[in-house]
Structure 1
Amino acid sequence: MLDDFLVRAMLAGVGVAVAAAPLGCFVVWRRMAYFGDATAHAAILGVALSLALSTSIFTGALAVALVMAMTVSSLSGRGYAMDTLLGVLAHSALAFGLVAVSFLQGVRLDLGAYLFGDILAVSRSDLAVIWGGAALILTLTVWRWSPLLTATLNPDLAYANGIDPKREQLVLTLGLAIVVAVAIKVVGALLIVALLIIPAASARPLARTPEAMALIAAGLGGFAALAGLRLSFNYDTPSGPTIVCVAAVVFALTNTIARLNNLRSQN
């Protein structure tokens, strides 16, 4: 069954959606979209270094994404405006990555596949990496769910309960780096954050609890991946952007329905 490229693509899309959903909720709650952007853009530099050193793309992307995330965390609160810092680092990392790729000699590289994803080219080994990363992220999230949620809602309350918010920030940083590394083949560095944020934002008006929001986000992300692949196959459109377009339509629908329900309840 896994010899069918479309089946592998579907499994890869669902795997990335499952991995991204719980972390995407924290990204939405903490308003960390630009933080995720900086981490994702740095992955292109990781791709270039991986090819130059003949190592796996996953290893290089994960290492550089983690370094970028740690750099942002360490520089925050030291007199730098966060939005300015993230803007500088995000675009600088992407630019250095693109320049580094141009210096690679004797390497054929489809740069568009790493910028916008190439889910139809996912191999069995890629599937193993994606689902292994998803399992690792889910394990990490379940293990640290309560401390992460407490630190997100109220850092002072977290301190009172013996929880270090900086440690939980580090856990979230590690999780984001793993998501970037496993998702770069599926949706690309420029669209990873969209798959993190849009399903979580779509689930927000439908959920009554944080746990429900994470589960609904996973379901909506999986639906966007499968529906996007189907539409891409039928209409010959780029797969990664089509998946994000479906997610955006779902976001518009869920929020419109939520607003209409609020208006009816007020009347």
Structure 2
Amino acid sequence: MLDDFMTRAMLAGVGVAFAAAPLGCFVVWRRMAYFGDATAHAAILGIALALALEVSIFAGAMVVALIMALTVTFLTGRGYAMDTILGVLAHSALAFGLVAVSFLSGIRIDLMAYLFGDILAVSKSDLIVIWGGATLVVALILWRWSALLMSTLNEELAYASGLHPKREQLVLTISLAITVAVAIKVVGVLLIAAMLIIPAAAARGLARTPEAMAGIAGAIGAVSAVAGLQGAYVLDTPAGPSIVCVAAILFAGLNLVGWRSKNAM
């Protein structure tokens, strides 16, 4: 079954949706959309360094994304607003990464595959990495679910309950770095933030509890991956962007249905 490239592509897309769903909910609740985007942009530098050092692309992207996220967390509140720090570091890392790639002589690089994904080229070993990373992310989020929710809703109440919001932020940071690393092959650096945010945002109006929102977001992400791949196959369009387009259509459609339902009451 795994010899079929479309089957591998669908499994990879569902794996990324599996990881991005609960994490995307916290990104939406904490208004960290730009944080996720900046971390993804930094991954280009990690890819360049991984190719130069001849190490795993996954490892290089994850390490640089993690360093980027930790740096932003450390610098926030030290004289600069978070959006300023994110803007400086994200665009700087992306620029340095693209320049570094240009110095890699003797290495053939399909830069578009890293920017927008190359899900149709996913191998069996890639599937192991994607699903291994996704499982680790979900395990981290489930382990700290209550603490993360408390820290997101009210930091003062979290402190009063004996929790450390900064530690919970670190859990999210590590999870985000892993998700960015596993999603590069599927949707690429420039579209990772979309897979984090759009399914979670679409699920927000349908859910009554945080747990339900995470589950619905996962379902929307999985449907987007499968339908986007089928659409790309039929229409001969880029796979990664097609997946995001389907997620955006679902977001618009679900919001339109919700808006009409409210007006009908």
Q: Give the TM-score of the pair, scaled to structure 1.
A: 0.98
Q: Which amino acid aligns with 2:42?
A: A
In structure 1, stretches of 5+ residues that fail to align are: none
Deviations 1:206-255, CA, capped at 9 Å, x for gaps: 00000000000000000000000000000100000000000000000111
Partner in structure 1 of residue 33 of structure 2: 33
Query: Paired residue for 1:4?
Result: 4
Counting aligned pairs with the same residue, the percent is 72
Moved over 2 A (4+): none
Q: Give the equivalent residue in structure 1 for 2:119.
A: 119
Looking at structure 1, the residues matched to 40 and 212 of structure 2 have their Cα atoms a distance apart, in angstroms, of 26
Aligned pair count? 265
Q: Deviations over 1:130-156 (max 9, x none)?
A: 000011011111100000000001001
1:176-191 → structure 2 map (5 Å cutoff) = 176-191=176-191
Superposed, 1:97-246 pairs within 5 Å as 97-246=97-246
CA offset digits 1:158-198 (Å, max 9, x no partner):
00100100000000000000000000010000000000000
In 1, the alpha carbon distance for the partners of 2:17 and 2:168 equals 22
Residue type matched to 1:112 in 2?
Answer: M
Partners of 1:59 and 1:180 lie apart in 2 by 11
Q: Which residue in the other structure is 2:252 paired with?
A: 252
1:257 positional shift? 1.1
C-alpha RMSD of matched pairs (Å)? 0.5
Query: 1 CA distance for matches of 2:262 and 2:179?
Result: 34
Q: What secondary structure sits across from 2:55 in the alignment? A: coil
Q: How many Å apart are 1:88 and its aligned residue?
A: 1.1
Amino acid at match of 1:254: L
Write the letter of the residue equivalent to 1:229: L
The one-letter amino acid paired with 2:56 is S
Q: What residue identity is the alignment partner of 2:79?
A: G
CA displacement at 1:261 relative to structure 2: 1.3
Residue 52 of structure 2 corresponds to 52
Return the offset for 1:124: 0.6
C-alpha offsets along residues 74-93 of structure 1, whole Å, 9 cap, x if unaligned? 00011101111111111111
The one-letter code sitting in structure 2 at the alignment partner of 1:179 is T
In the aligned structure 2, how far is the partner of 1:72 from the partner of 1:58? 21
* Alpha-carbon distance between aligned partners in 2 of 1:147 and 1:162, rounded to the nearest angstrom: 10
Per-residue CA deviations over 1:80-133 (Å, capped at 9, x if unaligned) read 011111111111111111000000011001000000000000001100000000
Query: Following the alignment from structure 2 to structure 1, what is the Cα–Cα distance between the partners of residues 82 and 140?
Result: 26
Q: Could you tell me the TM-score, scaled by structure 2's length?
A: 0.99
Residue deviations 1:6-54, cap 9 Å, x none? 1000000000000000000000000001100110001000000010001
Matching residue of 1:64 = 64
